[in-house]
Amino acid sequence: MINLISKALFLLMLITGYLAAQDAVGNIHGKITDVETRQPLAGVNVILEGLSLGAATDAAGNFQITGVPVGVHTISADYIGYQKISRTDVVVRGGRITFVNIELAEAAIEGQAVTVESDFFQKDAANPSANSFSAEEIRRSPGGGGDISRILSALPSVSSRGETSQDIMVRGGSPLENGFFVDNIPIPQVNHFTSPSGASNGPIGIINTDLIDNVDFYTGGFSAKFGDRLSSVVNIDYREGNRETFDGQLEMNFAGFGGVFEGPLAKRGSWLVSGRRSYLDLVADAINAGGAPRFEDLQTKIVLDINPKNKITILNIYGASQFQQEKEDALDEGFDEYFKVNNRQNTIGANWFSLLGTSAWSNTSASFTHKTFDFYSNASRSDIRLVENNFSENTLHLRHSTFFQPGSVANIELGFNYDYHFDNFSLQLLVPDTTISGVIIPVETRDNVDVSGARMGAFASLTLKPAARLTTVFGIRGSYSGFNEQTVIEPRFSLSYQFTSRLTLNGSAGIFHQGVSNYLISRDKQFRNLRDLQSRHIIAGVEYLLTPDTRLSLEFFDKDYSDIPEPTPATATRGPLYLPDDRFGASNWGLLTNNGTAYARGVEFLIQKKMAVNFYGMISGSYFRSRYEDFNGVTRDRDYDNRVLFSVIGGYHPNKKWELSVRWTYLGARPYTEIDVAASLAAGTEIRKTDAVNEASLPAYHALFLRADRRFNFRNATIVLYTSIWNAYNRTNLDEYAWSQTKREILEVKQFSLLPIFGLEYEF
Please report, for the domain that includes residue 24, its CATH number.
Answer: 2.60.40.1120
Q: Is residue 191 part of a domain?
A: yes
User: Is the same domain home to 93 and 142?
Assistant: no
Sign of CA dihedral 166, 172, 176, 182: negative
Q: What average pLDDT does the segment 497-526 reach?
A: 94
User: Is there a single domain that holds both residue 586 and residue 463?
Assistant: yes
Residue 758 falls inside a structural domain? yes
Per the domain annotation, does 125 fall within a domain?
Answer: no
Range of the structural domain that residue 16 is part of: 2-114
How do the residues of the chain divide into helix, strand and coil, expressed in percent and rounded to 5?
10, 55, 35
- Whether residue 96 sits in one domain with residue 144: no
Based on the domain organization, do 80 and 206 belong to the same domain? no
**pLDDT reading at 6 higher than 60:** no
Number of H helices, E strands in the chain: 6, 43
Same-domain check for residues 70 and 161: no
**Higher per-residue pLDDT: 19 or 305:** 305
pLDDT given at position 255: 75
User: Which of helix, strand or coil describes residue 708?
Assistant: strand
**Can you tell me the distance from the alpha carbon of 638 to that of 735, in angstroms, rounded to the nearest whole number?**
16
Run of H or E residues at 617: strand 615-629
Mapping DSSP to helix (H, G, I), strand (E, B) and coil, where does residue 113 land?
helix
Give yes or no: residues 202 and 266 share one domain: yes
Distance, in Å, from the CA atom of 727 to the CA atom of 702, rounded to the nearest integer, reads 8
Residue 291 has pLDDT above 70, yes or no: no
**Cα–Cα distance between 125 and 411 in angstroms, integer?**
12
**Tens digits of residue pLDDT in 184-212:** 999 998 988 888 877 877 778 899 989 99
Query: Which of 57, 79, 114 finishes a domain?
Result: 114
Tally of domains in the chain:
2
Q: What are 368-396's pLDDT values in tens digits?
A: 999 999 999 999 999 999 999 999 999 99
Task: Among 52, 82, 114, give the residue marking a domain's end.
Answer: 114
Using 50, 70 and 90 to split pLDDT, how confident is the model at 256? Answer: confident
Whether residue 277 sits in one domain with residue 325: yes
Judge if 372 and 445 occupy the same domain. yes
Whether 192 contacts 206, CB under 8 Å: yes
Tell me the mean pLDDT in the region 394-410.
Answer: 95
Sheet strands (E) in 430-528: 433-434, 440-441, 444-467, 470-481, 486-498, 503-514
In 10 A of CB 323, how many CB atoms?
24
In a domain, 302, yes or no: yes
119 within some domain: no
Phi–psi pair at 527, nearest 5 degrees:
-70, -15
Picking from 114, 146, 180, the residue at the C-terminal end of a domain is: 114
The DSSP 8-state label assigned to residue 119 in this structure reads B
- Does residue 181 belong to any structural domain of this protein? yes
Answer whether residue 115 shows pLDDT above 50. no
The pLDDT confidence band at residue 463, using thresholds 50, 70 and 90, is very high
Domain assignment present for residue 151? The answer is: yes
Residues 199 and 59 in one domain: no
Instruction: Note the residue count of the chain.
Output: 764
- Pair 42, 137 in one domain: no
In a domain, 120, yes or no: no
pLDDT category of residue 588 using cuts at 50, 70 and 90 = confident
Q: Which of 421, 512, 526, 448 is nearest to 475 (CA)?
A: 512
Q: What is the CATH number of the domain that holds 135?
A: 2.40.170.20
- pLDDT bin (cut points 50, 70, 90) of residue 109 is low
* Residue % of the chain over a pLDDT of 70: 93
Same-domain status, 99 and 174: no
Same domain membership, residue 139 and residue 211: yes
